[in-house]
Amino acid sequence: MIDVAELGKFVDDAAMSATAIPQITEKHPDMFVHDAYRIQKASIDRRLARGEKLIGVKMGLTSRAKMVQVGVDEVIWGRLTDRMLLEEGATLSRGSYVHPRAEPEIAFLIGKPLSGLVTAMEAMAAVEAVAPAIEIIDSRYQNFKFTLPDVVADNSSSSGVIVGDWFPRETRIDNLGIVLSENGMPVQIGSTAAILGNPVRSLVAAAKLVARDGLVLEPGMIVLAGGATAAHPLSVGATVDATFQTLGKVSITVAE
């Protein structure tokens, strides 16, 4: 039997102490994705009890290739808290993470309540602004190995977010070129088209998935649409820039 509260604490403790842990499914091979979302909520509830605030959600497995690789036909999601929000150009401590990696993404700023089954037009009508962003993902599992239920339980690996300048919601975000660089050298090249063909589709999926948990994307919340390139490992001394066609640049520096 799965003890949701105990496993929520297990994941939360690993994140707080930056300690690698064994996969939950090693001990609970019969754990399903719906169990994993309950564990995720339990771990985030612990953060909220410590005073953190829920500021949005992140989407994961938003490329067709990743879906096929993992064997799913639907994206996953995780929760964002205010403690995860870093200023553009900030310096993060490598020691505060286990396996930190950076992904360039599109961020949506919600302007009107959004939840449930909606069209792309309805989803964008609830958006106030869009922005370039970098998400810091950090699987707490040993050797960066995990099953789908494991990653969902671990808040879908979400650990941090850096948001660039906000632009009006009418700003084009489909098929924008992106270059992720480390210390001035390109390490990943991609396009926002890698996010379900168009990042707006990820927003539509977010509205549907949070509704299953009885949640509403409220005004002021942020939705991260998912990685537009492969995630790049972060190392001490690196300055990582994500440069987006027409949207500018977002940066983060890594210290010990």
Q: How confident is the model at residue 74 (pLDDT cuts 50, 70, 90)?
A: confident
**Considering all CA atoms of the chain, what is the largest pairwise distance in Å, rounded to the nearest integer?**
51
Residues in CB range of 124: below 8 A, 6 or more apart: 169, 200, 203
Number of domains forming the structure of the chain? 1
Average pLDDT over residues 156-175: 97
Cα angle at 219 between 217 and 223, to 5 degrees? 50
| pTM score of the predicted model | 0.96
Per DSSP bridges, beta strands 91-93 and 248-255 are: parallel
User: How many C-alpha atoms does 86 have within 13 Å on its Cβ side?
Assistant: 21
Q: What is the CATH number of the domain that holds 225?
A: 3.90.850.10
Q: What is the extent of the structural domain holding 169?
A: 4-255
pLDDT in tens, 15-58: 999 999 999 999 999 999 999 999 999 999 999 999 999 999 99
Tokens of 72: 């799913």
| Torsions phi, psi for 108 (to 5 deg) | -110, 135
